[in-house]
Amino acid sequence: MRMTLIACSDNPEILWNAFRIGNLMLEQGDDVTMFLNGPSVDYMALASEKYPMNDLAKLFTLSEGELLA
């Protein structure tokens, strides 16, 4: 199934969960595109030890998810 996720938030927990659900969908065999809009484009600056988005974003792209910003 083709899925599109759209994130427009500077809340690290929301972005972290968006990447988590995107990776889960990829594991299930879905074709996933994630579009980062507005403040979510700077997700790397929002990453922390509690919300390691950089690792999740890397996994997302290496698993053939499409990340657009």
Handedness of CA 21, 23, 26, 31 (dihedral sign): positive
Check residue 62 and give its pLDDT: 97
Please, which pLDDT band fits residue 42 given cuts at 50, 70 and 90?
very high
pLDDT at 67: 96
Angle 5-11-14 from CA coordinates, rounded to 5°: 40
d(CA 7, CA 69): 10
> What whole-number distance in Å separates Cα of residue 12 and Cα of residue 3?
22
Res. 15 pLDDT band, cuts 50 70 90: very high
Per-residue pLDDT at 61: 96
Average pLDDT over residues 57-64: 96
- Amino acid letter at 19? F
pTM of the model: 0.92
